[in-house]
Structure 1
């Protein structure tokens, strides 16, 4: 039998919730595009789904920079009722999610630069090149990008399972704290 506890931490603030769900939408779009776009080869041009993949990746980088800045300047309220082991596992999982959410698009950007492609935010604002055209390092980062995308996918699955475990097994309010309709009276600057 799983011991129940009652979460006493306040709901995440509107900014944290908005950035979280925007990240979810971008990642979902990115995985769908990534799985359906044609393979990238030596002479591939950044058009069609590949252009969309670059654009969504650029947006994801921008959102993740905002999330990291927000997280560093708005410390989350700890859930003191959370059992210590769950707190450690949660902290490690969130840390790894942030690392992968930053690294995967960054490595894709490096790879795009090595192909001579320009990554643009909203199709307008160009990001600087992170590797020279033809760079073997930049090309290799494309392979690492693909591998880490699967690691990120696995972490997301773990994250979703944990949220559902909290909701259906522990029957606490951890999941509700991040839902868009979380009570404004309990809002804080909580962000992960």
Structure 2
């Protein structure tokens, strides 16, 4: 039987990831033009910790989703909107994995270790390569902006459903 609303676990993971992704993005914007300093290095570490947390949580979220299907989209939705919704969700998952993995790859290529929460050293994913590190930085930033734009479109669609279509799509994720 298809559920009417998302499970409590799915809702908690969804909103927690919203906060973590926005926090990581805000941190990146705050340190991007900052001169090298202990404060900048600490902000970069916080950013990495948030990114790795997002990576672990999106894996948990995907596993949860595979065992607990999402509610069906409203019957009144046109076929093209349903297709866009499915493609948007796939894109969000790809980018929620891709952005943190890209950041981890970038750190590895630039020769900066990722030490989760300052306690758990994570392995380098690739060897040090400054040129590749620059390319990965550009990709990481581009994908992060893509994630933010796709998430904004996702939120706009939810608001459209709530205020224009007057259906329960948004309420299913609110509880």
TM-score, normalised relative to structure 1: 0.81
Q: Is the 8 A contact 2:159 2:170 kept in 1?
A: yes
- Residue 72 and residue 126 in structure 1: after superposition, are their counterparts in 2 closer, same or farther (change >3 A)? farther
Tell me the residue number matched to 1:141: 136
From 20, 42, 47, give the equivalent of 1:53. 47
Secondary structure at the aligned position of 1:16 is classed as: helix
Q: Is the 8 A contact 2:31 2:43 kept in 1?
A: yes
Q: Aligned equivalents of 1:80 and 1:163: distance in 2?
A: 12
Q: Aligned equivalents of 1:21 and 1:108: distance in 2?
A: 22
Which structure has the highest helix share of the two? 2
Question: Map of 1:103-182 to 2, 5 A cutoff?
Answer: 103-179=98-174, 182=175
- Residue 175 and residue 113 in structure 1: after superposition, are their counterparts in 2 closer, same or farther (change >3 A)? same
Q: CA RMSD in A?
A: 2.3
- Residue 81 and residue 9 in structure 1: after superposition, are their counterparts in 2 closer, same or farther (change >3 A)? farther
Tell me the residue number matched to 2:87: 92
Secondary structure at the aligned position of 1:126 is classed as: strand
Q: Is the 8 A contact 1:38 1:50 kept in 2?
A: no
From 22, 30, 47, give the equivalent of 1:28. 22
Secondary structure at the aligned position of 2:41 is classed as: coil
TM-score, normalised relative to structure 2: 0.88
- Residue 120 and residue 10 in structure 1: after superposition, are their counterparts in 2 closer, same or farther (change >3 A)? farther
Tell me the number of residue pairs that the alignment of Structure 1 and Structure 2 aligns: 172
From 42, 46, 57, give the equivalent of 1:63. 57
From 54, 61, 71, give the equivalent of 1:77. 71
Secondary structure at the aligned position of 2:66 is classed as: helix
- Residue 125 and residue 80 in structure 1: after superposition, are their counterparts in 2 closer, same or farther (change >3 A)? same
What 5-or-longer segments of structure 1 have no aligned partner? 1-7, 183-192
Tell me: higher relative CO, structure 1 or 2? Use CA pairs within 8 A at least 6 residues apart: 1
